Amino acid sequence: MNALTNRAKPVDRRKMNFMERIYLVAIFKGMMITFSHIFKKKPTINYPEKTRPFSPVFRGLHILNRDEEGRENCTACGLCAVACPAEAITMEAAERQPGEEDLYREEKYAARYEINMLRCIFCGLCEEACPKDAIYLSETFAPSDYQRKQFIYKKEDLLIPHPLKQPEEYKKALGNKVKREKAN
Ligand code: SF4
Ligand code: SF4
């Protein structure tokens, strides 16, 4: 039979001698390998207490953006849903009513906005398609869970904190977005 690679190693089927049968040498060799790793730099980190720096092009959990006055940017135009190759975005539009000008920036807004994170492939096309700077992919992971329904993120889960009412949380959620925009 022709070998696909030259990495195949023939099995050693000869009879073991006394030293091999008591396995002491093999155990010693194994322990030496273990000890040699004690003094090496650990490749693992204590996640979640510590995290690795993200790549500048990392795309994580989505954020629905507000303007500087805290009004929702999204106008429920549907372009993000059309651009999404995974059909992960669902929304329902509603008309802004008189007196809601401080809640929604435009006359139309998303009354319902959902992303199915189990479908999402974090490609970022929704962010690119949005003409209103209303959605972007942050540096946060979608946390793991045991139930599928927990991965349907609703508008309340996605909306960025209010910049005037929760300035600290807003800044944190914004993350490197500002830096990235300046670099582009
Ligand atoms: S990141 Fe890609 S797959 Fe995920 S919701 Fe946006 S467009 Fe769809
Ligand atoms: S997030 Fe942007 S593209 Fe998607 S519906 Fe809202 S305004 Fe339109």
Mind listing the pLDDT tens digit for each residue in 120-178?
999 999 999 999 999 999 988 778 899 999 999 999 999 999 999 999 999 888 876 66
Copy the structure tokens of residue 39: 């003094």
> Is 182's pLDDT higher than 60?
no
Tell me the C-alpha distance between 127 and 83, whole Å.
9
Copy the structure tokens of residue 78: 């549907």
Answer whether residue 44 is part of any domain: no
- The verdict on the CB of residue 88 being under 6 Å from ligand 2 is no
Answer whether residue 92 is part of any domain: yes
Distance 125 CA to ligand 1 centre (A): 6
Phi and psi at 105, nearest 5°, equal: -75, -35
- What is the tally of structural domains in the chain? 1
- The verdict on the CB of residue 120 being under 6 Å from ligand 1 is yes
Residues spanned by the domain of 174: 62-183
Q: Are 78 and 173 in contact, with CB atoms under 8 Å apart? A: no
Answer whether residue 124 is part of any domain: yes
Instruction: Name the residue type at position 15.
Output: K
Pocket test for ligand 1, best of 63, 125, 155 (most atoms within 8 A of CB): 125
Atom of ligand 2 nearest to the CA of 89: 4
Cα distances from 162 to residues 43, 97, 129, 134, 177, in angstroms, run 39, 20, 24, 14, 16
Computed from CA positions of residues 51, 56, 67, 69, in that sequence, does the dihedral angle turn out positive or negative?
positive
Q: Which ligand is nearest to the CA of 80?
A: 2
Distance 183 CA to ligand 2 centre (A): 23
Answer whether residue 2 is part of any domain: no
Q: Helix, strand, or coil here: 58? A: coil
Answer whether residue 29 is part of any domain: no
Q: Which ligand is nearest to the CA of 138?
A: 1
pLDDT in tens, 75-109: 999 999 999 999 999 999 999 999 999 999 999 99
Answer whether residue 173 is part of any domain: yes
- The verdict on the CB of residue 138 being under 6 Å from ligand 2 is no
Answer whether residue 87 is part of any domain: yes
CB atoms inside a 10 Å sphere around CB 67:
13
What percent of the residues of the chain are helix, what percent strand, and what percent coil, each to the nearest 5? 30, 15, 55
Tell me the C-alpha distance between 59 and 117, whole Å.
13
- The verdict on the CB of residue 118 being under 6 Å from ligand 1 is no
Predicted TM-score of the model (pTM): 0.76
Q: Where are the beta strands (DSSP E) in the chain?
A: 62-64, 89-95, 108-116, 135-137, 152-153
Answer whether residue 52 is part of any domain: no
Distance 11 CA to ligand 1 centre (A): 49
Q: Where are the beta strands (DSSP E) in 32-163?
A: 62-64, 89-95, 108-116, 135-137, 152-153
> Is 183's pLDDT higher than 90?
no
pLDDT at 141: 79
Domain of 113: which CATH number?
Answer: 3.30.70.3270
- The verdict on the CB of residue 79 being under 6 Å from ligand 2 is yes
Question: Up-side HSE of residue 99: CA atoms within 13 Å toward CB?
Answer: 0
